[in-house]
Amino acid sequence: MDTLKDKVALITGGASGIGRATALLFAQEGAAVSIVDIDEALGASAVEEVAAAGGRAVFVLCDVAKADDCRRAVETTVAAFGGLDILFNNAGVIRRADVLATTEAEWDRVMEVNVKSIFLMSKQAIPHLAERGGGVIINTSSGWGLKGGADAVAYCAAKGAVVNMTRAMAIDHGKQNIRVNAVCPGDTDTPMLRDEARQLGRPEEVFLAEAASRPLGRCAQPVEIAHAVLYLAGEMSAYVTGTTLVVDGGGLA
């Protein structure tokens, strides 16, 4: 299909999990994809996977918490593909702990990667989106951006900030024909979810089984979240901005 034909997308956290699934799906839908990540080996393999499927992709090594890295990521993308139409701010980290057990450094890193990165990357991308006559920004929040969760205070705070930041950006940049929305996944079978089990000292399979306790009775697969992101990126959502799309198998319900 050609839902994103001739579009250029930049995806942070694009080397694994939801980001990687979205990069592959976007490429299959006709977009050129810039895969931005801190993991060089996984990023290179993601580019190879996109190429094997007939798509176009580049990898940019980037710490999304650093302004210079974000500037270089956007500039490299524009130089490679001639512009930018879609920014998917998907990079994220989690620390499973309450206030007492969370260190200041851990708090700062969760906020930098999950929130500050959206500010830094959007600041660089918005002029290029506007230059194309408009574009799309999609931010990854979480079900825990809309409700609280146990032993994840920094993550919950960060993802709540993403939801309201998305609304503010939609208001500010609608006049430039830039739509800004957030996707709120529930538990998704990614390396980050499995890392949560390790942080909590829980067996992976037990943890995943508990995470599947929701109306649909299972965790999401990354591609299922990617399909929601595709909807927000394409013309089928042309009048959708400033909203949060919950994709969680009924968990919040």
Distance CA 81, CA 78 (A): 5
d(CA 71, CA 78): 11
Q: Which residues are catalytic?
A: 155
Burial pattern 7-23, b for ≥16 Cβ within 10 A else e, equals bbbbbbbbbbbbbbbbb
Q: Which residues pair with 246 in a beta bridge?
A: 184
In angstroms, the CA 32 to CA 9 distance is 6
CB 31 within 8 A of CB 9: yes
**Cα 49 from chain centroid?**
19
Residue 10: strand pairing partners: 34, 87
List, in sequence order, every residue forming a beta bridge with 247; answer none if it has no partner: 185
Alpha carbons 202 and 45: distance in angstroms, whole number = 30
Q: Give the separation between CA 125 and CA 227, rounded to whole angstroms.
A: 23
Phi, psi (deg, nearest 5) at residue 17: 60, -135
- Residue 152 backbone dihedrals phi, psi, to 5 degrees: -155, 45
143: helix, strand or coil: helix
